[in-house]
Amino acid sequence: MLLRALREEVLSANLELVRQGAVLYTFGNVSGISRQDGLVAIKPSGVAYEKLTPEQIVVSDLNGRIVDGKLRPSTDLRTHLELYKHFPNIGGVAHTHSRAAAAWAQAQRPIPCFGTTHADYFDGPIPVTAPLDVEQISGDYEKATGIAICETFAQLDPDAIPAVLVARHGPFCWGPDAAAAAHNAVILEYVAEMAYRTLVVNPGIQPLARELHDKHFSRRHGPNAYYGQITAERR
């Protein structure tokens, strides 16, 4: 089987979304890329998660040509491919319709950073894409969705804010690999739910002060990170 390890990793990241309650039925999809081979492994379209096997994970090239797998890939494959082409450091993409994050996407409101949980993972508000026009919707819709995401990041760093809300649709998240992308999707849902509740408790609350935001983001990310244990790369 082509890219067995990547397929297993993608399968396990998809199942993690189910375990954490971030997907309902067959909603959502996770993919992972082998940059070396220029190939992407993604969940097949419409298959129940509990029945998924590594063989059923579909392998595609960066143009969407299927190179291994008997099933059709997730319909969002072309959105994933745009992200891999434009965000060179990412190794995995996760898409869900998780309730709180999708509510912010439907409302077309960026998720402000109100607290340190958000700042630990995302270096700023979670942006919302511009809505697609009629031509984009009737044409290559999934590719247009990917392009809209990349345009949203024209002035933003996708490695520092590994998530976006697609207007009227839901979140796409990414990370260094498929597991990290799924993890970020679960954290985004948690942060989206907390931001909503924060505004209910205090509608006038302002975003987190820059100093505290920077403190939390930089102690987990970047050259001076000190959260967690020292890993081989950090030594």
Packing angle of the helix pair 4-19, 178-201 (nearest 10 deg): 20
Strand intervals (E) in the chain: 29-34, 39-42, 58-61, 66-68, 92-95, 163-166, 170-175
Beta bridge partners of 94: 30, 173
User: Phi first, then psi: what are they for 12, rounded to 5°?
Assistant: -70, -30
- What is the distance in angstroms between the CA of the first residue and the CA of the last residue of the chain? 36
Q: Which position among 49, 120, 159, 190 bears the catalytic label?
A: 120
Q: In the annotation, is 120 catalytic?
A: yes
> What size, in residues, is the chain?
235
Give the DSSP letter string of 65-125: -EEE-SSPBPTTHHHHHHHHHH-TT--EEEE---HHHHHHHHTT--B---SHHHHHH-SS-
User: Phi first, then psi: what are they for 32, rounded to 5°?
Assistant: -140, 155
Measured CA distances, 209 to 205, 214, 215 (Å): 11, 9, 10
Q: In the annotation, is 227 catalytic?
A: yes
CA of residue 184 relative to chain centroid, distance: 6
Q: Which position among 25, 133, 140, 227 bears the catalytic label?
A: 227
Q: Cite the active site residues.
A: 120, 227
